Structure 1
Amino acid sequence: MGRIYDSIDEHQRKWIANQSMFFVGTAPAATDGHVNVSPKGPIGSLRVLDDHTVAYLDIVGSGAETIAHIRENGRIVVMFCAFQGPPRILRLHGRGEVVLPGDEQFDELLQRGFHEPEAPEARRAIIVVHVQRIADSCGYGVPLLAYEGERPHSDLSTAKRLRVEGPDAMRNYEAKHNRVSIDGLPALS
């Protein structure tokens, strides 16, 4: 049986930091829109800011569903699963906020020590989650998996894009691929 907690306590902070990755779930307000779940990592790209706030450094990717959904309705859940050790799932439900490079808060948040991509141009946003519900559950159905390390593909892809297309390559990619969600909701301008 799962439990609901009043805040993100020290035990949960340590447990979160020991996971390899996390998942983010969002959905548009429309009933016919696409629900989105994104795997995120490494875990160092996420920081617990206080007892009711987490944030993660979002890098340029193939879509911008999370950003579009947050801008439309704010709903978000961050989920952690124990793939090693005792079974457990922890969900942080809340309201999201998109902080873009150039926003006043961005550089201040960046000081929190997020794991960074090799090229700073890969930074897309910092997603801040104002947590309203903290709940765990058993995780009995989550398999035991061995962590082997991080994949180099994201940094290699960014480096190649910058080398081939120049210093504006990531912003050009965003303009082409991250302007709207798959449902047509505005994401990045």
Structure 2
Amino acid sequence: MAMGSKLNRTLMDFIERQPLFFVATAAPEGRVNLSPKGLKTLKIMNESRIVWLSLSGSGNETAAHLAETDRMTLMFCAFSGEAMILRVYGHAKVVHPRADAWSELARLFPPMAGSRQIFDLEIDLVQTSCGSGVPLMDFQAERGTAELLPFYEAMGDEGVRDYWRRKNMLSIDGKPTHVL
């Protein structure tokens, strides 16, 4: 196991090759949330900062948790090639579309229907482990380009906001997400 406080070029290259990452957050009380993410929604800003675009979904746990505590962990696993697990720990903030910083950060990503927030993570610890228990798997394709994105495109902007009102205003523990 190796630890440090910043990403080096080898770790940045590893992150950029991964089609999938996991995000974990927890409020001081309530459930821990762990979610898989994909669709090229993550950008490395520098050795100590990562941002990722959150698309609409059936819940909005990460935003609710960050409203109470700013802790976040990202995990990347090698499902092909040399075995490795990389965990990136830090403190994150939520950037909503109504925030001043949204325009600058949103330009980092292609326009995607249902874009809900951008999470901005300042890294304070980087940890690698062997990953030899992670199975080898073949990546076939992104699902979201065929399923998720057209679903939100068909809704239009107002339909997406209505969806947020119905599904994304509160966490499963009843915590506000501040999505609107």
Normalising by structure 1, report the TM-score. Answer: 0.90
| Superposed displacement of residue 12, structure 1 | 1.1
Matches within 5 A, 1:17-166: 17-30=16-29, 33-42=30-39, 44-112=40-108, 114-117=109-112, 119=113, 122-151=114-143, 152-162=146-156
1:41 corresponds to which letter in structure 2? Answer: G
Instruction: Indicate the residue corresponding to 2:176 in structure 1.
Output: 186
Cα deviations by residue, 1:40-67 (Å, 9 ceiling, x for unpaired): 002x210011111101011111101000
Percent identical pairs in the alignment equals 34
Paired with 1:11 and 1:115, the residues of 2 have a C-alpha distance of 25
Paired with 2:103 and 2:110, the residues of 1 have a C-alpha distance of 14
Contact between 1:45 and 1:116, CA under 8 Å: does it hold in 2? no
Paired with 2:4 and 2:107, the residues of 1 have a C-alpha distance of 28
Normalising by structure 2, report the TM-score. Answer: 0.94
2:152 corresponds to which letter in structure 1? Answer: T
Which of 149, 159, 163 aligns to 1:173? It is 163
| Superposed displacement of residue 116, structure 1 | 3.9
Contact between 2:93 and 2:121, CA under 8 Å: does it hold in 1? yes
Structure 1's unaligned 5+ residue stretches are none
Structure 2's unaligned 5+ residue stretches are none
Contact between 2:22 and 2:75, CA under 8 Å: does it hold in 1? yes
Paired with 1:4 and 1:70, the residues of 2 have a C-alpha distance of 24
1:7 corresponds to which letter in structure 2? Answer: K
1:27 corresponds to which letter in structure 2? Answer: A
- Extract structure 1 runs of 4+ deviating beyond 4 A: none
Contact between 1:93 and 1:134, CA under 8 Å: does it hold in 2? yes
Contact between 2:5 and 2:123, CA under 8 Å: does it hold in 1? no
1:35 corresponds to which letter in structure 2? Answer: V
Cα deviations by residue, 1:50-89 (Å, 9 ceiling, x for unpaired): 1111010111111010000011111110000000001100
- Matched pairs, number: 177
| Superposed displacement of residue 155, structure 1 | 1.3
Higher helix share: 1
Paired with 2:107 and 2:155, the residues of 1 have a C-alpha distance of 26
Secondary structure of 2:165's counterpart equals helix
2:35 corresponds to which letter in structure 1? Answer: S
Paired with 1:159 and 1:53, the residues of 2 have a C-alpha distance of 30
